[in-house]
Structures are given as structure tokens and as C-alpha cells.
């Protein structure tokens, strides 16, 4: 695949290099002039990111600070994009807006005040003495040394720092926030978002900001991070998970986390990181089994379906899959409703991938496709996103790639776990089949890319055009049949 990495000041160099090492074509654009030479010799550099965005299959933006506008524009044009939107950029860049959005979603926040004048902030602290944290907003928040955590109950240390900033940083710090200091454990929770929903597991991380061990010395941007992967926990469920509808509305794709203070009274979000974290993404990379640039299964969609009128169900088969289709607590929906919901998601994926039809992937796919086509005909569905006769059969592909045609053996041969207790449930078999298909595609990626280079999709070759026309006629005839 072809990747374009767009960086603010070269923070994502290591990830771009990793994708190069995996065999992908990469071009790397760095916005800041002072950082433009970072990565030269390791990653091919881009001279014109807008032209290279047309060339790339995937465009990756590594920061906020206005990148969300470019990312959103490319995403809306049909390009596969990892990056933010103007809304998600603002969650991080505008601290006050981020806090307001958290409150709007019913999330506890710490009292804060926004300022554009150091004199006004000094007057506020004098009138309301307490412990405060000084947090620059916008681009100035990248100067991590300017964040100051007050220790004095009367706020006199905060006043002294504000007076220093007024003399030295008034031109660089255009806006900032004073947030009441709350004691507790500082912890961040985050997850990758695929444009529709969070992808689990989540990541829990702890930043170490002091210069020296033992939590002593001046604050830095970050001296190190400890992290672990987890299923959704209380901190995540009370914060980021509530933001899922807003992120889905935006079509956000990438990593997002929120830093929090946790104490006996509750969870209090401090600020968003609506992008890759640094060094977070590099540490996460060490915990990922899947290479950074490989094809991976997407979201899972499932529904319990009511038996259609006149259906014949073999009791022995039902015993194998463990389903009682008439159980009163089974939340089943009519077949047509289930197909409508599933087809809506599939059409969205087809559109996002800039394709025209979906191709069914299955283990013994001809059976699955016949089953699907029969359901479509039975329910009189008019907008079937699947190609009427093309399919990818993982029984065949597994035999070619791994020498195994039985699903369980092919999955194990591909390097995945197999749970006999989960086998034969529709969702388990579908997920393992998807993993197997992606593993085969990734194994043969080099052959595909070589062929794609020799036979591009857009060609003026008369033989190619004639073959395409012939295929179209065949599809029309078979579709009518």
C-alpha cells in the first residue's frame, strides 16, 4: 500500500519508518521548516503533500493545530484518512471547549477559568486564593515547561509565575486556563476509533513528568510513560465512552485519550489528546502483534434473527450451535430488519472504500452467498450491496496459503488462537474467518502490489477495456438470471 504521513514537527518519524520496513511505499511531509530534515535517509520525503495525497492509498496526520481541516476534507472526498476533524482538533487545542464538551456529555469536570490576559488572571487569583494549575492553550501548550502546578493554598506561587509569564511569554501565550488543583492519581485512558466506534482493548497509561526519579525536579513534557492494555474500565466508561456518539458523528479515525485525576470522590478529566500520543504510539507499537500497515478486520455487526415462515430447522444442527430460536429471552428481530441494518453498514463501508460492490468472504463461500441471496429474494430486498456471484472462499485461500482447508486448522496455521467452545457460533466463526482472510491478503500483498503496478485500474489498454466490457455484460446477464 501507499502511505503519506503528514507531520507537524516530525514526531511520527519512527512509525513512518516502521511502515517502510514492512514493505509499503511511504512519503513523508513535515510542515515545520526546522524539522524538515528529520527522517531523511530512513523515509522518502514528500515535496508536495497535496499531490502525494492523490497518490496515496492512506493519508496519516500526526497532530492537531488545524490538521483536522485537511484530514476532514480528504476523508469527505473518499480518501482513507487517519486523523482528526476541526471538532476533535478543538477538543485538544481549546481547553475550555474540551471541558465544555465533557460537561455536555454528563462528565464531571474541575472548575476552571479561561484568560487572554495575565493581569486579569493575577487579579482573579488574588480575589480567589487557592491552588491552581496554569495550562496554556493552542500552540503554546506544546511548550510543556509552561504548565505549572501550584502548591501553595493561597495561590501566591501561581501569582509569581503568572507575573513572570506576563513579562516573558505574553506574545507566545495568547490564551490559557486556570484550573483548580485536585489531588489524586493522574491517569490517562484512551482507545483507537475506527470512524464509527471504539476498537478495544483500551489503553491505560501513566505519564512521568518530573525530570528526576522519585517525582522530583521541574516538570517536563514527559520523561517516560508506563501503560497496559485493558478491557473498558470505570475510568474509560465514565469519560471517553460517553463521547462515542460525537466521534462517530465526526467520522474520527485514530487514537484519542483523556488525561484524568482519579480520587475517592470520582474521575475528573483534565484534557484531551485527539491524535497519536508521543511517546505513547511508539510504546503501543511494542504491544501490537499486527504490523502497522497490514489489512485488519473491521467492526463486527450482529443480530439475532427470527425464523422465517416455513423454515426447516434440523434439531441436530441446532444442538451443535446451541441456539433455541424460540426462546422468549432471545432478542431476535425479523429477517428483513436484520438485513436492512447489516446492509446499511456494508454500503457505508463500500462507500468509504471508494468501491461499487461488496464481495462476500466466507469459509465455503458459495454456500454462504447462496444463503444470503435466498434471504434477499425471500424478503424482497432491493438494495443488496453484495456482488451476486463473486466471493472469496477462505477454505480455498487457507489451503493455498497455509495448507489447511478446515477453518480451525487454517486459523491456527495462520498464527491465531482457536477456542473450540466458541466454534460454530455465527459471530465467532465470522471473526475468525475475517482474521484468516486478512492474514492471507497480507501474506500475498507483495504479489498484489506488483500486479497492480503492471495493470493499473485506470488504463487505456483496448484489451483491458474489452475484457471489462465483457465482464460487465456477463454480470448483467447473470444478475438477471
Cβ proximity of 92 and 272 under 8 Å: yes
In a domain, 209, yes or no: yes
CATH classification of the domain holding 48: 3.40.50.720
pLDDT digits (tens, 9 = 90+) for 67-79: 999 999 999 888 9
Lowest mean pLDDT among 11-20, 131-140, 327-336, 449-458: 449-458
Torsion of CA 188, 189, 195, 201, to 10 degrees: 140
Residue 297 lies in a domain: no
pLDDT in tens, 352-377: 777 899 999 999 999 999 999 999 99
Residue 258: burial class (beta carbons within 10 Å; 0-12, 13-18, 19+): buried
Task: Tell whether the model's pLDDT for residue 466 goes beyond 70.
Answer: no
Residue found by looking up cell 506544546 in the block: 142
- pLDDT of residue 476 exceeding 60: no
Q: Is residue 19 part of a domain?
A: yes
For residues 320 and 426, membership in a common domain is answered with yes
Please state, in angstroms and rounded to a whole number, the distance separating the CA atoms of residues 24 and 38: 20
What b/e string do you get for 101-124 counting C-beta neighbours within 10 Å, with b at 16 or more? bbeeeebeeeebbbbeebeebbeb
pLDDT surpassing 80 at residue 134? yes
Q: Indicate if 407 and 321 belong to the same structural domain.
A: yes
pLDDT score, position 118: 95
Q: Which of 36-40, 142-146, 153-157, 278-282 has the lowest mean pLDDT?
A: 142-146
Split at pLDDT 50, 70, 90, the class of 142 is confident
pLDDT above 90 covers a percentage of the chain that reads: 59
The enclosing domain of 227 has a CATH number of 3.30.470.20
Determine the average pLDDT of the residues in 280-309: 81
Question: For the ranges 210-224, 410-424, 449-463, which has the lowest average pLDDT?
Answer: 449-463
Whether 50 and 29 share a structural domain: yes
Residue 101's alpha-carbon distances to 111, 149, 250, in angstroms, are 14, 24, 14
Give residue 216's pLDDT: 87
- pLDDT, tens only, 298-335: 778 888 899 888 888 888 888 877 788 888 878 889 99
CA separation for the pair 61, 275 (Å, rounded): 8
Q: Does 348 share its domain with 434?
A: yes
Rounded to an integer, the average pLDDT of 187-209 is 92
- The average pLDDT across 15-37 equals 93
In this predicted structure, the answer to whether residue 35 has a pLDDT above a threshold of 60 is yes
| Domain at 346, CATH number | 3.30.420.10
Contact 183, 168 (CB under 8 A): no
Which of the four pLDDT bands, split at 50, 70 and 90, describes residue 203?
very high
Residue at a domain's end among 255, 275, 295: 275
Do 176 and 189 fall into the same domain? no
What are the angstrom distances between the C-alpha of 390 and each of 54, 373, 407, 434?
29, 12, 20, 17
| Domain count across the chain | 4
Question: Is 327 assigned a catalytic role?
Answer: no
- Local confidence band at 348 (pLDDT 50, 70, 90 cut-offs): confident
Secondary structure of residue 7 in the 3-state scheme: strand
- CATH number reported for the structural domain that contains residue 148 in this entry: 3.30.1490.20
pLDDT of residue 298: 77
Is residue 342 located within the same domain as residue 418?
Answer: yes
**Among 170, 162, 165, 176, which Cα is nearest to 94's?**
176
- 323, 333, 342, 371 from 336: Cα distances, Å: 20, 8, 10, 14
Give the mean pLDDT of 146-167: 92
Kindly state whether residue 468 falls inside one of the protein's structural domains.
no
Q: In residues, how long is the chain?
A: 481
Residues 325 and 411 in one domain: yes
Verify that 385 and 439 share a domain, yes or no: yes
State the sign of the Cα–Cα–Cα–Cα dihedral 180, 181, 182, 185.
positive
**17/81 same-domain check:** yes
Residue 35 sits in the same domain as residue 72? yes
What's the chain's average pLDDT? 88
Q: How does residue 339 score in pLDDT terms, banded at 50, 70 and 90? A: very high
* Measured CA distances, 231 to 107, 147, 191, 204, 428 (Å): 20, 32, 10, 10, 18
pLDDT score, position 475: 39
Q: Which residues have CB under 8 Å from 62's CB, separation 6+?
A: 5, 6, 7, 8, 11, 12, 275, 276
Strand pairing report for 358-362 and 112-115: unpaired
| Domain presence at residue 405 | yes
Are 322 and 433 within one domain?
yes
- Answer whether residue 104 is part of any domain: no
Tell me what pLDDT residue 457 has. 60
What is the model's pLDDT at position 290?
66
414 contacts 439 by C-beta, under 8 angstroms: yes
Name the residue range of residue 387's domain. 315-443
Identify whether 348 is part of a domain.
yes
- End residue of a domain, out of 137, 156, 180: 180
Residue at 463 is within a domain: no
pLDDT digits (tens, 9 = 90+) for 234-246: 999 999 999 999 9
Name the domain boundary from 137, 157, 180.
180
Rounded Cα distance between 137 and 116, Å, is: 10
DSSP state of 138: G
What share of the chain in percent tops pLDDT 70? 94
Which range has the worst mean pLDDT, 49-58, 117-126, 316-325, 353-362? 316-325
Give the mean model confidence (pLDDT) for residues 190-194.
94
- Which residues, in sequence order, are CB contacts of 190 under 8 Å at separation 6+? 202, 203, 205, 240, 255, 256, 257, 258, 273, 277, 280
**Minimum mean pLDDT range among 172-181, 190-199, 241-250, 471-480:** 471-480
Co-location of 254 and 339 in the same domain: no
Q: For residue 217, what pLDDT band results from cuts at 50, 70 and 90?
A: confident
**Residue 162: pLDDT band with limits 50, 70, 90:** very high
Residue from 208, 303, 387, 424 carrying the catalytic annotation: 424
Cell numbers that stand for 338 in this block = 436484520
Amino acid at each position: 500500500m501507499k502511505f503519506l504521513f503528514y507531520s507537524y514537527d516530525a514526531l511520527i518519524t519512527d512509525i513512518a519508518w516502521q511502515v517502510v520496513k514492512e514493505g509499503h511505499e511511504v512519503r513523508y511531509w513535515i510542515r515545520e521548516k526546522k524539522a524538515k530534515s528529520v527522517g531523511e535517509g530512513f523515509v522518502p520525503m514528500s515535496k508536495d503533500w497535496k499531490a502525494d495525497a492523490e497518490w496515496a492509498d492512506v493519508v496519516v496526520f500526526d497532530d492537531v493545530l488545524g490538521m483536522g481541516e485537511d484530514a476532514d476534507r480528504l476523508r469527505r472526498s473518499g480518501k482513507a484518512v487517519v486523523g482528526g476533524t476541526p471538532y476533535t482538533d478543538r477538543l485538544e487545542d481549546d481547553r475550555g471547549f474540551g471541558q465544555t464538551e465533557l460537561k455536555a456529555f454528563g462528565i464531571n469536570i474541575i472548575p476552571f477559568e479561561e484568560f487572554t490576559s495575565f493581569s486579569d488572571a493575577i487579579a482573579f487569583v488574588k480575589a480567589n486564593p487557592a491552588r491552581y494549575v496554569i495550562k496554556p492553550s493552542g500552540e503554546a501548550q506544546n511548550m510543556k515547561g509552561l504548565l505549572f502546578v501550584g502548591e501553595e493554598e493561597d495561590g501566591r506561587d501561581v501569582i509569581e509565575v503568572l507575573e513572570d509569564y506576563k513579562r516573558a511569554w505574553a506574545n507566545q501565550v495568547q490564551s490559557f486556563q486556570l484550573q483548580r488543583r485536585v489531588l489524586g492519581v493522574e491517569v490517562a485512558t484512551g482507545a483507537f476509533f475506527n470512524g464509527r466506534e471504539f476498537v478495544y482493548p483500551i489503553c491505560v497509561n501513566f505519564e512521568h513528568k518530573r525530570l528526576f526519579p522519585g517525582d522530583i525536579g521541574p516538570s517536563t513534557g514527559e520523561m517516560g510513560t508506563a501503560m497496559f492494555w485493558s478491557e473498558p474500565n470505570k475510568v474509560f466508561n465514565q469519560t471517553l465512552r460517553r463521547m462515542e456518539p460525537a466521534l462517530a458523528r465526526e467520522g474520527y479515525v485514530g487514537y484519542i485519550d483523556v488525561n484524568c485525576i482519579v480520587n475517592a470522590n470520582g474521575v475528573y478529566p483534565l484534557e484531551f489528546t485527539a491524535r497519536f500520543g508521543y511517546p505513547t504510539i511508539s510504546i503501543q507499537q511494542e504491544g501490537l502483534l499486527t504490523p502497522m500497515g497490514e489489512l485488519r478486520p473491521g467492526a463486527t455487526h450482529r443480530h439475532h434473527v427470527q425464523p422465517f415462515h416455513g423454515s426447516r430447522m434440523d434439531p441436530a444442527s441446532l444442538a451443535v450451535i446451541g441456539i433455541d430460536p424460540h426462546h422468549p429471552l432471545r432478542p431476535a428481530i425479523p429477517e428483513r430488519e436484520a438485513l436492512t441494518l447489516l446492509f446499511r453498514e456494508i454500503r457505508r463501508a463500500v462507500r468509504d472504500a471508494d468501491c461499487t460492490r461488496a464481495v462476500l468472504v466466507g469459509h465455503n463461500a458459495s454456500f454462504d452467498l447462496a444463503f444470503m441471496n435466498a434471504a434477499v429474494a425471500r424478503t424482497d430486498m432491493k438494495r443488496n450491496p453484495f456482488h451476486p456471484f463473486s466471493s472469496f472462499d477462505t477454505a480455498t485461500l487457507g489451503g493455498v496459503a497455509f495448507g489447511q482447508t478446515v477453518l480451525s486448522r487454517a486459523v491456527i496455521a495462520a498464527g491465531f488462537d482457536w477456542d473450540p467452545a466458541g466454534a460454530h457460533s455465527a459471530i465467532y466463526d465470522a471473526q475468525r474467518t475475517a482474521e484468516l482472510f486478512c492474514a492471507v491478503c497480507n501474506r500475498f500483498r507483495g504479489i498484489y502490489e506488483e500486479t497492480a503496478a503492471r495493470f493499473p485500474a485506470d488504463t487505456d489498454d483496448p484489451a483491458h477495456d474489452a475484457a471489462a466490457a465483457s465482464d460487465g455484460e456477463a454480470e448483467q446477464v447473470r444478475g438477471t438470471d
